[in-house]
Structure 1
Amino acid sequence: MKICVFGTGAIGSHLAGRLAKGGAELSVIARGSQLAAIREKGITVRAPDGELHCMPRAAADPAELGPQDAVLVTTKQTALPSVAGTIAPLLGPDTSVAFVVNGIPWWYYDSEGGPNQGTRLPQVDPGDAMRKAVGIERTLGGVVWSACTVTEPGVVEVRSPTSRLILGEPDGTVSARAQAIADILKAGGLGAKAVPDIRTELWAKLIGNLSQGPLCVLSRQDMKTTLADPAVREAALRSLNESIAIAAGLGIKLEINAEDRFARSVNTAHKPSILQDLEAGRPMEVAAIFDLPLLLARQAGVETPTLDLCVALARQTAAAAGLYQA
């Protein structure tokens, strides 16, 4: 199966290593020092279950790679307009495109079946650029759980004891194309599955990004250090409960115990990706991870006073750094 990973940050590089081990005919879209390093020495993934190494075809221009059976888009949400403008050469008649991104995705209300069915989200897809470039018929949703960091160009360190990728169709079916990608990843040693309700999986992760991300941006520390302060810990727990309430207001029933979920975060010495972006001077995914969930909360009539304050301050921090513009 020909699979291209579009974006070789920490998550993209980790998935590339797993896909190669699982037997995919792998290529990647990369740029800058990452592209140079991959062309010279490949991708190295240092994970708890061992070290992986692969030498994929690597290019900055998708036209060099040609049509694929599947594409995994692993860029930041902020980079999607650029992806939309360049992805066409990778798309054959039956190519599927899995968006493995954080936050609320552009396709969220497609085939959703609720009162907001078909609602556009210009905050994460300005001008319907991605919708026009890819189309909902090709689209798969993706949720990845993996704490990892690029330690040098071409090298990623995975800190999660276990990692997994969950794939699903926007219309709630379990498709052969999603299962095929999952099977290759499983063969590569990654937990992976295709599910009938990708939105529930999306929210299961988003409640953590939303409740802890703003506080870590403000403290500029990892989760364990940030949550060591009792006052911050209390605010984070309130934010987590508010995040779960937003999901419930949108009809998403999460089988999650807030106290248990929070206890795991307290002991996680990992910096959220949005803090890593702040430190590296990269555009921050404020719209997808912070702004849109709160907009949906307002539409659902859910009050989120703690989140409102934390997000407002994190938004100001991002704007002051020149990494976010409303």
Structure 2
Amino acid sequence: MRVLILGAGAVGGYFGGRLVEAGADVTFFVREARSRLLAERGLRIESPLGDMNLAAKAVFDPKALTAFDLVILTCKAYDLDESLETIAGAVAPGTGVLPLLNGFAHLDRIEARFPEAKVFGGVAQISATLAEDGVVRHFGERNRLIFGVRDGGPDERLTALEAIYARTSVAATFVDDVERRLWDKFVLLATLAGITSMMRASVGDILATPSGERLIRLLLAECESVARAQGWTPSPEFPELLSILFVRGSALKASMLRDIERGGRTEGEHILGDMLARARRARLETPALEIAATHLRAYEASRASGGTNFA
């Protein structure tokens, strides 16, 4: 099975690297500068589960792409449309496309661009970052992938992907309820990103304040109400996922806050904006969610106008 991974950053670099470690036929599609760095220094991963420096195949020219069996997308939501055009040569009728983006808004856009492809659902659970020196740094031991066919059916490529990851430290699971798992993470991430970005603080620092836990639970309840209005029922694993929101002393913060701290673009509209839009369509009152989404919109407006970056 030939696998193309769009991006070799925190998510693509880590989970793609583990596939390379297992001997899979993997190619990374990256920007030219990243391709040169991978050629010169290898794909470097620092992880509590084992450091790696791997020889990785990488291309940056769209004209070099031919059809792949499986394409894994790990780009940021705001780069999605451009990225889909760039990798069009890799997607043939029947090609499997596994996006590891957060939320739901991207799925319809991928299906619209590649109507003859098979678009799966995927959830990545990991805390990692791409450092300035090009190293993928993995924090903690959680490194889980959940994927599946959106209607719950079988697929040989996903079965093969699960088997490859079984030879690595990645906990990868091919599930028959991936839509529910996507909602699990959407609720969790909207809460985590919303609260840590608004407060400019880690979970532990927020919980150290008198009102911190109450405000986290308020935003969580609103996000859960939106999901339930869409027909979601939590998976059995959902309570365990939520536990990260209430760990005293935790240094955890959403990657969205890290984006703000460096003055970069965020996925605020893709996550909080989309959750708020769904709340409004369902005629739900979600004031905390509205504040969180407006906060990110104000940050993006200021950033676009050249004003303060709020960092």
Q: TM-score, normalization: structure 1?
A: 0.85
Q: Deviations over 1:100-136 (max 9, x none)?
A: 10122333xxxxxxxxxxxx6xxxx4xxxx3343226
Structure 1 unaligned segments of length 5 or more: list them: 108-119
* Correspondence for 1:297: 279
Is the CA contact (8 Å cut-off) linking 1:169 and 1:196 kept in structure 2?
A: yes
Cα 1:280–1:179 shift into 2, 3 Å: farther
Deviation readout 1:217-270 (Å, 9 max, x if unpaired):
233333322333232331111111111121111111014698865542233423
Q: Secondary structure at the match of 1:192?
A: strand
Counterpart for residue 80 of structure 2: 80
CA-CA distance at 1:98 after TM superposition: 0.5
Residues 7 and 237 (structure 1), Cα distance of their counterparts in 2 relative to 1, 3 Å cut: same
Task: Give the residue type in structure 2 aligned to 1:28.
Answer: F
Asked if 1 retains the 8 angstrom alpha-carbon contact of 2:93 and 2:116, the reply is no
Change (3 A) 1:229 1:167: same
Provide the residue aligned with 2:194 in structure 1.
214
Write out the 4+ residue segments of structure 1 that deviate beyond 6 Å after TM superposition.
Answer: 256-260
Paired amino acid for 1:279:
E
CA change 1:258–1:186 in 2 (3 A) is closer
Aligned to 2:308: none
Note the C-alpha offset of 1:80.
0.7
Give matches, 1:124-163, under 5 Å. 125=109, 130-135=110-115, 137-163=117-143
Residues 137 and 5 (structure 1), Cα distance of their counterparts in 2 relative to 1, 3 Å cut: closer
Residue 46 of structure 1 pairs with residue 33 of structure 2: no
Matched residues in 2 for 1:258 and 1:186: separation? 23
CA distance in 1, matches of 2:134, 2:26: 15
Query: What percentage of aligned pairs have identical amino acids?
Result: 27
Question: Which of the numbers 180, 184, 198 marks the counterpart of 1:204?
Answer: 184
- Using the TM superposition, give the Cα deviation of residue 4 of structure 1 relative to its aligned residue in structure 2, in angstroms: 1.2
| Correspondence 1:252 to 2:232 | yes
Shift of 1:195: 1.2
Letter in 2 for 1:9: G
- Structure-2 change in CA distance of 1:139 and 1:257 (3 Å): closer
The change in CA–CA distance for 1:85 and 1:245 in structure 2 (over 3 A counts) is same
Match of 1:90 in 2: 90
Distance 1:68 1:255, change over 3 A: closer
Distance change in 2, residues 1:144/1:293 (3 Å): same
On the 8 A contact 2:97/2:117 being kept in 1, the answer is no
Question: 1:320 — aligned with what?
Answer: 302
Q: Is the 8 A contact 2:105 2:274 kept in 1?
A: no
TM-score by length of 2: 0.89
Which residue of 174, 177, 184 maps to 2:157?
177
Separation (CA, whole Å) in 1 of partners of 2:200 and 2:299: 11
How far off its partner does 1:205 sit?
Answer: 1.1
Match of 1:282 among 264, 279, 287: 264
Q: Secondary structure at the match of 1:66?
A: coil
SS at match of 1:159: strand
Aligned length: 303
Q: Distance in 2 between matches of 1:174 and 1:297?
A: 33
For the residues of structure 2 that align with 1:58 and 1:49, how far apart are their CA atoms? 24
Please, which moves more after superposition, 284-293 or 72-81?
284-293
